[in-house]
Structure 1
Amino acid sequence: MIFPRAIRRLESLKTPFLACLLIAAFADGAVAGDKGSQSFVRVSATDPRYFEMSDGRAYVPIGLNMIAPPGQQAWPVMKDWMEKLSAQGGNFIRVWLGNPYFDVEHSRCGEYDTAKAQRIDELLATAATLGIKVKMCMEHFRHLGEGRQAWAAKPLHLVQNGGTATNIADFFNGEKSRAQFKKKLAWYQNRFGNHSQVFGWELWNEINAVSGGDYMAWTEAMLPELHRLFPSNLCMQSLGSFDTDRVRANYRRLALMKGNDVAQVHRYLDLGASLEVCKGPVDVLAADAVREMLAAKPGKPVLLAESGAVEPRHSGPFKLYAKDTNGVILHDVLFAPFFAGAAGPGHIWHWDAYVAKNNLWWHFGRFAEAIRDMVPASEHFEPAFLQTESFRIYGLKGKRMVVLWIRDIPSDWRAELEQGRPAELISGKGIELANWWDKAQPVKARIYDPWQNKWSDAAADDGMVKLPPFRRSLVVRLLPQ
């Protein structure tokens, strides 16, 4: 690794281009566990579509949503989940600070519970020992008591309960409520400010799900304050599932919004969705969500920040999760976004009812292995896509290497989970080099089977790379000899 003192010296050079080259030359590959590090996550100075650590090393957020323990006395369960993730090379989780387990503002507007704050201390301390960065989602409520979802209510903000708002619209539009929320941000800063274990601060979960108010203007007002208070951390906002054309305009507005450091997108397999893409193969819907964000040209990292599968119109976890003991859905959520041009794998939502229940933690290790030693920002990857009769091939063309994720078309969730057809063994196939390798140097191929956790070399003869027998998917690295 390159040492922080050396990084500071390089950054002080009067020739920024030379400094970037030197940093890239010494930087480690994609960071997995980073135990004990005091470095912050930031947008890469080399390529703003990716992340890096403040000491110059690459950072790819490998993890999932892990909102809170499953009960007030269940911290050991969440700690066990974090340990299992870390053991597989995971380095990222997202939590909800508004969940009852962590919620510091649960009795009265503007009063903060230090006992709950100590739970957040414990979370961050555990994350530090395990090399996990934590995205801190600050709020998730959608109404002030008038809605049907009890978990989404926060009536303490009403004037009659000692709060500042007459209704949810007044919470977002009213000056008193905005001033009070800024005081809450300041309290968090005083309690947890400049914490290197924080991946970033997220203002709200799916803010367009609230029942009133100009939440986009509110976001534009709060992001600068968030940056002022947390200058060393990333700051961001999120919207609900991209499952209808109606959300496209707000998604693009948020992707381009000043101060929103990450262009996040949420999307699920949902047979009740308006968009047809949300009803098909998971790799297709995940990659399409990333392309929607990239099409806005945000000039910042893109992440599929929530994904998975749900019953129609988000009425519950996908019933076919019970059959997905091989983790077919999780695999596609992880791999498709990164190979479509995102700054990391997709982050699955159902950490408890799917990942933990089916013991699928090993999938995070397979993704970490697939990108081992890669420095995406230094490669300046450009995504490419090719569909053949048998495969969907998602490619990243870099300065030195080309990396492909090859997904078998027939073995999707419908075939394996709905129809009960096991993934077929594919043999005797290859890929044409002319579609992917345009460099002058001769090429060699390294192939990783994420289902077998096995690397192999492949011959590149007569313009073809011969693929070993496999099921579902392979990762192919094309490198100069």
Structure 2
Amino acid sequence: MSKAVGADGSLLSAATPSLSWISVARHAPYFVDETGSPWTPIGQNDAISWPELNGLFRRRDAESVEKHLLWLKDSGVTCLRLMLEYAQVRHRYFERPAGRYVPSMVQFWDDLFALCERIGLRLLLTPVDTFWTWLHWRWHPWNTANGGPLRSPTEILTCPETRQLIKARLGFAARRWGGSGALFAWDLWNEIHPAQAGDSADNFSEFIHDLSSYVRELETELYGRAHPQTVSVFGPELTWKPHMALHEHIFRHPDLDFATIHIYGSGPIDNPKDTVQPAVLFGQIVRDSLAEIRDNRPFLDSEHGPIHSFKDKKKTLPEAFDDEYFRHIAWAHLASGAAGGGMRWPNRHPHVLTPGMRRAQRAMADFLPLLNWTEFRSRNLNAEITAEGFHAFGCGDAQQALVWLLRGDELAADGRVRTDVSPRSTMVRVPGLADGTYQVTGWNTSDGRAVDQQVASGRNGALEFTLQPIVADRAFAITPLYPKRDPGDDRS
């Protein structure tokens, strides 16, 4: 694999051992690496033409991209979601003409994979940017007007010739970069939609099976194993089109390894007025999504953000407000039982995440080691946890639990949670834990540090503890507390 080079032609990164591959944990709805250690997707969506990665195109400023990726790593980021082709602009097509891969684009991906290998970042990769492909169809190389096989994007899922182009693109990527552990997983199709198949979902199962089996068989032939796979959907479609079997394809398709949707809930999430209600709605959507899964596969949001306020209202949220909105959504996602903090679509000008959002990602990354994710058979407990005066988000099994509590009774004029009010306490009850003694570690989600610890007992199928007074929010890791065994005790 080629390495990124600087303007003077020198290598930016030396050859390093390959990153370990990621797979689904055997006993939990989360992810692990080859050593069996937990791995959690913390990151966001990025694009090859956005400010922070744009310098790698034609190697115009590769040094700045490397510096940025190193900063992401230091910020706790583990994963970026990217589209192999981002069709918002006309000079980032992966093929031109159809079936001929653009050398400068191939070089971009060679260099990005090399950097991610060295730095230790991974990519959730999807082959087609369906949103801008649809809007800018006039210029797309697959359009018959430009020598391609497809008359309209309304036939993109049903046209046999286009299917071959899609599989060929996936095959090219699998052969060239599929051997790398920097590839976390394939999002085989971005935002699958009935409009892409003549307003029908009848062929979704066959389409997913065809792409999935092709990539899996190819990777297995080449590498003896395959990367995890998913297919994403614009989340509101699940409720807008209840007569179509979208849930079956997204949450339960037998060929897919984990489930993902794009959580763009209308109102609080798309156009937020405060930072509390978006988290409440996010937690409910995660709970509903987990209820659709029958085989304990992981679930995660792979796109969210204030899309309506940014795209339609042309408004960038104030930074302090957006930082809190981002942090609240991330903890609602993780605490409700999804993997990681969700993957924000920036929806800001400039189109990047803020430093405050990066600090929130670091705080979450530092919290993760408090729980044993490889054995965490979590189930959502948002509605079952009792904590009077707080919005409760949580998940747990018989051995451990994760709880996040958020105050919503004291909002400032700008919609943020007030921090100049008296701290509040209450009794917290978490059901489902086996009888025994547990350590309850309170975590400051803003500062990224443990702020209190206490011991609590689980009795009669639930654990109760008194909440130390808090002003705004706090996360809790609840883990078994076993007595230390005397090394000289050989009675076992």
TM over 0.5: yes
1:479 match: 479
Q: Distance in 1 between matches of 2:456 and 2:171?
A: 62
Q: Where does residue 17 of structure 1 map in the other structure?
A: none
Aligned partner of 2:442 in structure 1 is: 447
Equivalent in the alignment of 2:281: 285
Query: Among 60, 71, 78, which residue is 2:40 paired with?
Result: 60
Deviations along 1:331-362, one digit per CA (max 9) or x if unpaired, are 12211112111122211111764753454211
Q: Quick check: 2:49–2:86 contact (8 Å CA) kept in 1?
A: no
Which structure 1 segments of 5+ residues have no match? 1-34
Task: Kindly state the Cα deviation for residue 459 of structure 1 after the two structures are TM-superposed.
Answer: 4.3
Within a 5 Å distance, the mapping from 1:35-434 to structure 2 comes to: 38-47=19-28, 49-70=29-50, 74-75=55-56, 78-99=65-86, 103=92, 105-142=94-131, 149-150=135-136, 155-208=140-193, 210-213=195-198, 216=204, 217-231=206-220, 232-242=226-236, 245-247=239-241, 249-268=245-264, 270-271=266-267, 281-299=277-295, 300-311=297-308, 315=312, 319-324=316-321, 327-350=323-346, 353=349, 356-357=353-354, 359-385=356-382, 386=385, 388-410=387-409, 415-416=411-412, 418-419=414-415, 422-433=418-429
CA RMSD, aligned part only?
3.4
Q: Give distance in 2, aligned partners of 1:194 and 1:441.
A: 45
Q: Is contact 2:423–2:469 with CA below 8 Å preserved after alignment?
A: yes
One-letter code aligned to 1:397: G
| Whole-angstrom distance in 2 between the partners of 1:253 and 1:180 | 22
**Contact 1:265-1:306 at 8 Å conserved across structures:** yes
CA distance in 2, matches of 1:360, 1:314: 20
Q: Cα 1:351–1:82, aligned 2, differ >3 Å: closer, same or farther?
A: farther
Alpha carbons of 1:87 and 1:316: their partners in 2 closer, same or farther (altered >3 Å)?
Answer: farther
1:464: Cα distance to partner? 5.6
For residue 235 of structure 1, report the CA deviation from its aligned partner.
1.8
Once the 2 structures are TM-superposed, how far is the Cα of residue 450 of structure 1 from its aligned partner? 1.6
Q: Confirm or deny: 8 A CA contact 1:141 1:153 kept in the other structure.
A: no
User: Residue 300 of structure 2: SS of its match in structure 1?
Assistant: strand
Contact 2:391/2:405 (<8 A) preserved: yes
Q: Conserved in 2, the CA contact under 8 Å of 1:270 and 1:314?
A: no
Q: Distance in 2 between matches of 1:254 and 1:201?
A: 14
Asked whether the 8 Å contact 1:382–1:396 carries over to 2, the reply is yes
CA 1:268–1:280 in structure 2 vs 1: closer, same or farther (change >3 Å)?
A: farther
Shift of the 384–191 alpha-carbon distance from structure 1 to 2, 3 Å rule, reads: same
Report the equivalent of 1:32: none
> How far apart are the structure 1 equivalents of 2:140 and 2:153?
10
Range moving further from structure 2, 400-409 or 240-249: 240-249
Report the Cα offset of residue 139 of structure 1: 0.1
Q: Is 1:320–1:417's contact at 8 Å kept on the other side of the alignment?
A: no
Q: What secondary structure is seen at the aligned counterpart in 2 of 1:207?
A: coil
Query: Hey, what does 1:21 align to over in structure 2?
Result: none
Gaps of 5+ in 2: 1-15, 221-225, 458-462, 482-492
Q: Secondary structure at the match of 1:206?
A: coil
Separation in structure 1 between the aligned mates of residue 433 and residue 362 of structure 2, nearest angstrom = 31
Q: Is the 8 A contact 2:42 2:77 kept in 1?
A: yes
Distance 1:159 1:459, change over 3 A: closer
Amino acid at match of 2:321: D
Q: For the Cα contact (< 8 Å) 2:264–2:270, is it kept in 1?
A: no
State the Cα deviation string for residues 154-192 of structure 1 (Å, max 9, x = none).
532133422122322443212222223222222222222
Q: Deviations over 1:310-346 (max 9, x none)?
A: 3359526754344426x11111221111211112221
Task: Please give the alpha-carbon distance, in whole angstroms, between the structure 2 residues aligned to 1:160 and 1:168.
Answer: 13
Q: Could you report, residue by residue, the CA deviation over 1:18-73 in whole angstroms, capped at 9, with x for unpaired residues?
A: xxxxxxxxxxxxxxxxx9553111111122x2111123111111111122342685
- TM (normalized to structure 2)? 0.78
Distance 1:272 1:357, change over 3 A: closer
Displacement, 1:384? 1.0
